[in-house]
Copies of this chain bind each other. A is one copy, B any other.
Amino acid sequence: MGIDTRQRILTATNELFRHHGYNGTSLSQVSKAAPATIGSIYHFFPGGKEALAVAVIDSTATVYRQLFESIVAETNDPASAFSLFFDQAGQMLVETDFIDPCPIGTIAREVASTSDPIRRAAEAAFDSWVEAATDYLVRNGIRQGEARDLATLFVITTEGGFVLCRTKRSIEPLHAVARTTSPLISSALASRSPTPSKA
């Protein structure tokens, strides 16, 4: 059972960050929640708390990118794919009593001015999400520039939606996002050049 100690530490830290942010989480809390001794934490993460944050951000980036890909893979219409993503995020919020679904935005805003390694990890995460959504929209016939703008809006409304939902303890803000932005995808699809794809 020694092998998954690293993963236990990572999982516990992720949850604590989503509860209390970066500066609000102490290593003693992590040690207790994992559970793992302080010595073990420093064994797996010699860079201490900062390295732990980078690892949490990297793994969260991957998990959310995979969630996005799995949702679009199961959905025919791109406009409803994004709505489905917002629905699923809202469901997560309710099930967890409005714990933050994503640790990255909070951590980035807390320490963007003081920890460049963490800021860069968060930047890479957001970039990878924008890229994944852009590629998906381009695959559906939307031209590169418009696709990138819409993908950026998608990530921004996700993060901004989490801010309002967590604050208001309501998923209504995410519903407003879905209602207002869904027509943007539809209209971009409608105005694409009528080159037939192999689908």
Measured between alpha carbons, how far is A180 from B110 in the docked complex, in Å? 28
Task: Say which residue of B24, B100, B126 sits within 8 Å of A168 (CB atoms).
Answer: B126
Copies in the assembly, this chain: 2
Given contact pairs A153-B181, A160-B161, A167 touches B112 in the complex (Cβ within 8 A): yes
When A19-B113, A157-B160, A161-B156 are in contact, do A179 and B149 touch as well, CB less than 8 Å? Answer: yes
- A170 → chain B closest CB, angstroms: 9
Known A150-B180, A157-B160, A163-B156; judge A112-B126 contact (CB<8 A).
Answer: no
A119: interface (CB < 8 Å): yes
| B113 close to A20 (CB less than 8 A) | yes
Total interface residues on A, CB under 8 Å, equals 50
A193 in the interface (beta carbon within 8 A): no
* Chain B residues with CB below 8 A from A181, complex form: 153
Cβ contact within 8 Å between A109 and B153: no
Task: Give Cα A163 to B156, complex, Å.
Answer: 8
Closest to A162 in B: B109
Q: Most chain-B CB neighbours within 10 Å: which of A110, A150, A158, A173?
A: A110
Contact yes or no, A176 B163, CB < 8 A: no
A108 at interface by CB-CB < 8 Å? yes
Interface contact B164-A180, CB-CB below 8 Å:
no
Nearest CB in chain B: distance from A129 CB, A: 10
CB < 8 Å neighbour of A106 from B106, B169, B177: B106
In the complex, chain A residues 45-89 whose Cβ is within 8 Å of any chain B Cβ: none
Of the candidates A111, A152, A157, A160, the one having the most CB atoms from chain B within 10 angstroms of its own CB is A160
Residues of B close to A127: CB separation below 8 A: 168
Interface residues of A (CB under 8 A from B): 19-24, 98-100, 105-106, 108-114, 119, 122-123, 126-127, 148-150, 152-153, 155-164, 166-169, 173, 176-177, 179-181, 183-184
23 contacts between A and B (CB under 8 A): A20-B110, A20-B111, A20-B113, A21-B109, A23-B23, A24-B111, A24-B114, A100-B109, A106-B106, A106-B109, A108-B163, A109-B167, A110-B110, A112-B167, A126-B164, A126-B167, A127-B168, A152-B180, A156-B164, A156-B173, A156-B177, A157-B157, A163-B163
